[in-house]
Structure 1
Amino acid sequence: MTRYNFTSLPDRLATNAIKWQKTREDKDLLPLWIADMDFQVFPEMTAALTQFAKRSVFGYDAPADSLFEAIIDWEQNQHGVEVAREDIVLIEGAVPAISTVVQAFTEEGDAVLINTPVYPPFARSVKLNKRTLVTNSLVVEDGRFAIDFDQLERDIVDNSVKLYIFCNPHNPGGRVWDMAELKRLGEICRQHGVIMVSDEIHQDLTLWGKRHQSFYTVDRSFAEFAIILASATKTFNIAGTKNSFVLIKNPDLRKAFTDRQLANNQHEISNLGFVATEVALREGLPWLTELKVVLEDNISDLLGYFAKELPDLRVMRPEATYLLWLDFSAYGLKHSEVARRLEEEANVQLNDGLTFGREGKCCFRLNAAAPKALIMEAAARIAGAFNNERT
């Protein structure tokens, strides 16, 4: 028996949700794009934020000791990562943290490497800070993304890469990188003096028994050149509360990061974020456990439906996250035509694959974290727009 409500669709237009803004103009549109969930948070979260609202004074707060203890306990118990309080740096979000590391550890013109396709702010942060973007294409093997390690090393050497921004678990493909892959990445970075930034914001959303391997658990020596980005926000659907944490064990790297954070005036964090993060990590595990069952069920039904109704659509089965990478290239259509059909004929809003890199041509990302009735309606609409186009 379920304890939580994953079947009712919240009225997100009433909250001015970005995800649902276009629905104000088109009431029939189904938005399955931006990576937040159309699920209610667990009751303890609502109660804690209600109690926060009753304070009636909302001046500056310092983070409580109990918040750091909650982060330490969560990382240890859920991911086997041992961190001390001094290793933890709070910041308003993982994306601001990416810009901070780019500024702290590279100069204008320096090369920064990312694997593509990947979450769009990776490339944006590099370009806006006037660094040289180096993209290493992921390859598809056995229906999932993999790393071409030989090409990766050539890209690092040929471009004198200083910083590598890595996504684990991967967005948009949902890959949970294994220990052997992470170990090889670490050895390459160490050999060539590259600082590794591992964005692990989806670490808690592994599915079907997969276990997230934090970069800090692979080899203790990797902490000398690695920085971990994490947060409760994606896991517990509290992104609007604006609080993430950065794990930096190397004190020299930590000082460089916090110096740049201060220079950017990024050192003040939302009081609401303090409260929401601590409640999530202290009381949210039962909700998360149930959520994963719901996500697995939603994704399985989508995969089964598309396999039957759109057999030429290649859908990457995620090992983590609630995001599906849909590849329409077998239909022989231009990317713009695929986008038009999704928008005008299916009337669904997905993330455009080209925003993740050139490898996203004819691909789109679908968010499956919504009541099943909504996502299956979207699947039926997509099938209706493409089921006469098999090649």
Structure 2
Amino acid sequence: MIDFDKVQPRTGTNSVKWDAIQEMYHREGLLPLWVADMDFLAPEAVTNALQDAVAKGIYGYSIFPDSLYSAIIDWQQTRHGFSLEKEAILFNSGVVPSLALALQSYTAENDAILIHDPVYHPFADVIKRNNRRLVRAPLLEKAGHFEMDFAAMEQAIVENNIKLFILCNPHNPGGRVWTKEELTTIGLLCQKHHVFVVSDEIHQDIVFAPHRFTSFQTVDPSFTAFSIVLTSATKTFNLAGIKNSMVFIKDPALRKRFVAAQERNVQGEINTFGTVATEAAYREGAPWLEALLPYLSDNAAFIQSFLQTHMPNVRVQMPEGTYLMWLDFSAYGLSDQQLQRILINEAHVVLNQGTIFGPHGSQHMRLNFACSRSILEKVLHQIAEAFETIDRKK
């Protein structure tokens, strides 16, 4: 079993997370807790499966084997109670490319698309690039976590004639794992106003007890008539580079429209190593995941405790899922530019700026805690030291 405490060197590996920051910020020695991949080795079973594939020496065109479909079906049923048939599973290179295909499949140019604020930033980018109209509905922060403002959502749907809503579950950057009751309300609201739902569920396996993940399509059988699910093994098992994701579409008519969009865009063929890694992860990766989850949960608790002791002016939303934490620096009264400068130039730490997730992300930062505890401690101490002078003035 992997030692998650062991620091895995990633500089010089063409890592976006580790190697791009020097060019971006023109500084050496920055510690990156930003891009949403993990600093842990993937499951050994995945590495072995990839090595076996490489050893064959021929890398020609490949098909999707039945064993891959059964691995996905078994995983979804066992982990999430989500029953799937083989024909309901499509493949694509990633969740974001699949989102673009969904917009092209189920909406027209200039249609209004609804997302939350804050939420995973590529949602807005894909909407704009596909010439759709972006509409944001704010999330409410209550009792230390985000809640959906259903009244505001319905108002936005009606006033803007919303055609499609993109759901992020579990939520990035807030770490909320939406409950069945919340998903039911969303589904009934969208059903009432004929709004199509695309549910991004890529973080579905990274959920901390006692919280439980619920897929949108398991809430009510009728929801499958106006929704699709996007997911992947990549976030769960730290495999982002394999470029393989799944699209679950139970309704045959909806599936036909998505496949047509794949064909128009010449998408749907997946890298052979992506299929190999996905099958191995779902077949043999469960023990690795069961060891990972408590480590991540302990990291989150460590951050909360550290900030309460050393930086009480930073408000923390404890994540129910994902390995991402939403930090509120608004008590310092800094502009977003000032906040970023302090973190980069004085703390020597790279986090994600909250503003990329939407206007409500101002004065916030997203921290990725999927790293060894020693790096996490170093990052937090550097941030605390950088803000010590500001804290003294308060």
Q: TM-score, normalised by structure 2?
A: 0.97
Task: Tell me how far apart the structure 1 counterparts of residues 318 and 52 of structure 2 sit (CA, whole Å).
Answer: 40
Aligned pairs for 1:236-255 (under 5 A) are 236-255=237-256
Q: What code does the residue aligned with 1:50 have?
A: Q
**How many Å apart are 1:388 and its aligned residue?**
3.0
Which amino acid is 1:165 matched to? I
Q: Secondary structure at the match of 1:340?
A: helix
Q: How far apart are 1:12 and its partner, in Å?
A: 1.2
SS of equivalent to 1:48: helix
* Correspondence list, 1:138-153, <5 A: 138-153=139-154
Q: Which residue of 1 aligns with 2:227?
A: 226
Secondary structure at the aligned position of 1:15 is classed as coil
C-alpha deviation, 1:315, in angstroms = 1.1
Letter of the structure 2 residue corresponding to residue 389 of structure 1: I
CA distance in 2, matches of 1:113, 1:285: 35
Partners of 1:20 and 1:31 within 8 A in 2: yes
Once residues 115 and 57 of structure 2 are traced to their aligned partners in structure 1, the CA distance between those partners, rounded to angstroms, is 45
Q: Secondary structure at the match of 1:165?
A: strand
Corresponding residue SS for 2:146: strand
CA-to-partner distance for each residue in 1:289-329, whole Å, 9 max, x for gaps? 00001101111111100110000101110000000111100
CA distance in 1, matches of 2:194, 2:65: 36
Question: 51-60 or 286-295: which moved more?
Answer: 51-60
Mapping of residues 204-219 of structure 1, within 5 Å: 204-219=205-220
Match in the other structure for 1:346: 347
Deviating 4+ runs (over 3 angstroms): 23-27
CA distance, structure 2, for counterparts of residue 9 and residue 255 of structure 1: 46
Residues of 2 paired with 1:151 and 1:365: CA distance?
Answer: 25
8 Å Cα contact 1:113-1:136 kept in structure 2? yes
1:1-391 to 2 correspondences below 5 Å: 3-21=1-19, 22-23=21-22, 26-390=27-391, 391=394
Query: Aligned equivalents of 1:208 and 1:304: distance in 2?
Result: 19
Aligned partners of 1:296 and 1:179: how far apart in 2? 22
Stretch moving more, 75-84 or 209-218: 209-218
Q: CA deviation at 1:387?
A: 2.7
CA distance in structure 2 between the aligned counterparts of 1:116 and 1:60, rounded to whole angstroms: 42
Deviation of 1:14 after TM superposition, in Å, equals: 3.3
Q: CA deviation at 1:23?
A: 4.8
The percent of aligned pairs where both chains have the same amino acid is 46
Distance in 2 (CA, whole Å) between partners of 1:337 and 1:23 is: 20
Name the CA distance, whole Å, in 1 between partners of 2:249 and 2:125. 23
CA separation in 2, counterparts of 1:126 and 1:116?
A: 14
Q: Distance in 1 between matches of 2:262 and 2:237?
A: 26
TM-superposed CA distance for 1:28, in Å, is 1.7
More displaced stretch, 59-68 vs 13-22:
13-22
Stretches of structure 2 lacking an aligned partner (at least 5 in a row): none
Q: CA RMSD in A?
A: 1.0
Tell me the distance in 1 between the aligned counterparts of 2:45 and 2:148: 41
Kindly state the Cα deviation for residue 332 of structure 1 after the two structures are TM-superposed.
Answer: 1.0
Q: Distance in 2 between matches of 1:174 and 1:130?
A: 29
| Corresponding letter in the other structure for 1:278 | E
Q: How many residues are paired up?
A: 389
Equivalent position SS for 2:389 = coil
- 3-state DSSP class of the match of 1:181? helix
| 8 A Cα contact 1:23 1:30, kept in partner | no
Give the Cα separation in 1 of the matches to 2:112 and 2:28.
45
Provide the rounded CA distance (Å) in 1 between the counterparts of 2:96 and 2:176: 20
Amino acid at match of 1:6: F
Give 1:218 shift: 0.8
Please list the CA deviations of residues 159-200 of structure 1 after superposition, one character each: whole Å capped at 9, or x if unmatched. Answer: 000010010000000000011110000001100111100100
Which range is displaced more, 207-216 or 124-133?
207-216
